[in-house]
Amino acid sequence: DVKVTQSSRYLVKRTGEKVFLECVQDMDHENMFWYRQDPGLGLRLIYFSYDVKMKEKGDIPEGYSVSREKKERFSLILESASTNQTSMYLCASSFPTPAKVPFFGPGTRLTVL
């Protein structure tokens, strides 16, 4: 059973804290993605990675960074959390096959107070 797991389902942090969201996939996928999902805005791509130590900015990278030290793990980092980063964060992974929808994790609902 293929799986993308995220470290937390719910997370509450304070403004200014450094936040780590971890994602692990067990399918040996090359591609990994971080999205945020907000009401009325849908899914927006923050960063993606197509190989270990490689990363590419998505549509909304400001305020975020990522790390991919191992193929199976892709971390999203909020260096200094702000209230406008309160959102649902979804990790996904895929093979580099055109037009195949990635496998999504269950999501982390982050609240920044």
Chain residues in the site for another protein (CB under 8 A): 4, 9, 31, 40-45, 90, 92, 96, 98-101, 104-107
The CA distance from 93 to 26, in Å, is 10
Residue 17 or 86 with smaller CB distance to another protein: 86
Residue 11 vs 43, nearer CB to another protein? 43
Task: Give the shortest CB-32-to-another protein separation in angstroms.
Answer: 13
Cα separation, 93 vs 113, in Å, equals 30
Q: CA dist 97 to 31, 41, 111, Å?
A: 10, 26, 34
Minimum distance between the CB of residue 104 and another protein, rounded to whole angstroms?
Answer: 4
Residue bearing tokens 């200094």: 80
